[in-house]
Amino acid sequence: MKDLHSRHRAVLPDWLVLYYDTPLEITHGEGRHVWDAEGRRYLDFFGGILTTMTAHALPDVTKAVADQAGRVIHSSTLYLNRPMVDLAERVAALSGIPDARVFFTTSGTEANDTALLLATAHRRSNQILAMRNSYHGRSFTAVGITGNQAWSPTSLSPLQTLYVHGGVRTRGPYAALGDAEFIEACVADLRDMLGQARGVAALIAEPVQGVGGFTSPPDGLYAAFRDVLAEHGVLWIADEVQTGWGRTGDHFWGWQAHAASGPPDLLTFAKGIGNGMSIGGVVGRAEIMNCLDANSISTFGGSPVTMAAGLANLTYLLEHDLQGNARRVGGLLIERLRAICAQLPVVREVRGRGLMIGIELVRPGTDEANPQAATAVLEAAREGGLLVGKGGGHSTSVLRIAPPLSLTVAEAEEGAAILEHALRDA
């Protein structure tokens, strides 16, 4: 393990973050569990950053991948691709967007890049509205619209970005307001900003901010935003890379919590749809998706192998009602965690929905972020046999809990008990 770590440090860039004082090598997994190189088993509450959405080594997916690989692995989008068309039809139908078109990429970063390209080309503007505390990927354009400084390494950008209030409910200048007043204040802020801007192309927003620590506005905020955006012809891009496919339990897409004004103009997705395979994409209204006036292809987006995996995974997800499971088991887990944390002064808030839960840690008696405690809990949870993630706005002081959607009640209880011990140690 030490040898592999030293080799990693010698050949890979310093900014490639590793968890744990002694980094972990995962060798295999099954269901909701993974094993390390020393043979130790862990309950996985992070799923490769919300990517192993269904289960590790899901037979339906591994068989689909093997069967397709045995026929043809790659062809590119220059040729007709039946698995890609099959999956595009299903994604278009599930998106809720009328007359939808779908373009597949290899990651969420690339999906958001594509959505920004489409929106700016359609609107003939490079002005973008983004949410404070947001994260949209690691490419040059994506970091240029990321409102979380810890994940935005450069201020240079081809886009002019303006940041809007509303993505974080319990911090900031409007935190003390009730939900209705919070939405009203954020809408007033948006109106004021649009009154000073010229020709904004789009607002991009995560319905639940992922890297930002699983924060979200009151339901209905983006519906209210959508009404204002429509007055100015500004597009709405919903970044569903982490919230899509039923993870929030209550809805299949995160935008549906804000559904009064209908679906977004563009919706980006990735992570869970491939259950570990590299799939991302954009789905949107035909007039926007068709707006590019130059040729374009994708060499690896829509690969027959990844499309086969996505089809198998999506079928399993729907047939086994994993959205319903996320709602039921996630509801039990968040209430259990709230009961555990109620008497712990290191915990400021337990928040989330479905199987997307954040525990924000602070210095006791204050609202000051406590990244040291988060690191300590991460280490203690690993020692107890549980893997969780970290995130947060101004510092990584939020524990991110996002198990595969097939999590059982017994596994939720087991994970909560391990977290209780880890939090008490912190």
For 140-177, what is each residue's pLDDT tens digit? 888 888 877 777 777 778 898 999 999 999 999 999 99
* CATH fold of the domain at 63-319: Aspartate Aminotransferase; domain 2 (3.40.640)
Check residue 389 and give its pLDDT: 97
- Taking only the tens place, the pLDDT of each residue in 20-52 is 999 999 999 999 999 999 999 999 999 999 999
> Per this entry, what is the length of the chain?
426
pLDDT per residue as tens digits for the range 249-292: 999 999 999 976 689 999 999 999 999 999 999 999 999 999 99
Cβ atoms of residues 29 and 56 within 8 Å:
yes
At residue 175, the 3 state secondary structure works out as coil
For residue 280, give the H/E element and its range.
strand 280-285
pLDDT-based confidence at residue 9 (cuts at 50, 70, 90): very high
Residue-by-residue DSSP string for 304-353: HHHHHHHHHHHHHHHHTTHHHHHHHHHHHHHHHHHHHHTT-TTEEEEEEE
Is pLDDT larger for residue 142 or for residue 345? 345
- pLDDT higher than 70, residue 1: no
**C-alpha radius of gyration, the chain, whole number:** 21
Tokens for 316, please give them: 């399993």
Over residues 208-229, mean pLDDT: 95
Domain segments of the chain as ranges:
2-57+321-425, 63-319
Answer for the pair 195, 227: CB distance below 8 angstroms, yes or no: no
Over the range 93-124, which residues count as b (16 or more CB within 10 Å of their CB) and which as e?
ebbbbeebbbbbbbbbbbbbbbbbebbbebbe
pLDDT at residue 156 in the model: 75
pLDDT for residue 152: 74
pLDDT band at 223 (very low <50, low <70, confident <90, very high): very high
Over residues 75-79, the mean pLDDT reads 95
3-state secondary structure of 287: helix
Q: Two tokens at 107? A: 């990651």
Q: What does the alpha-carbon distance between residue 277 and residue 233 come to, in Å, rounded to a whole number?
A: 36
Answer whether 115's CB lies under 8 Å from 237's CB.
yes
Q: Among 202, 289, 280, which Cα is nearest to 241's?
A: 280
CA distance 62 to 308: 10
Query: What is the arithmetic mean of pLDDT over 395-424?
Result: 96
CATH number belonging to domain 2-57+321-425: 3.90.1150.10
- pLDDT over threshold 80, residue 113: yes
Distance CA 244, CA 380 (A): 30
Residue 284 Ramachandran class (φ > 0 left, ψ -120 to 50 alpha, else beta):
beta
| Across 291-310, average pLDDT | 95
Q: What is the dihedral sign for C-alpha 194, 198, 202, 208?
A: negative
> What pLDDT was estimated at residue 143?
83
Q: How far apart are CA 356 and CA 214, in angstroms?
A: 7
Query: Rounded CA gap, 133 and 46, in Å?
Result: 20
pLDDT given at position 77: 95
Task: Indicate the average pLDDT of the chain.
Answer: 95
Q: Between these two residues, 197 and 242, which has the higher pLDDT value?
A: 242
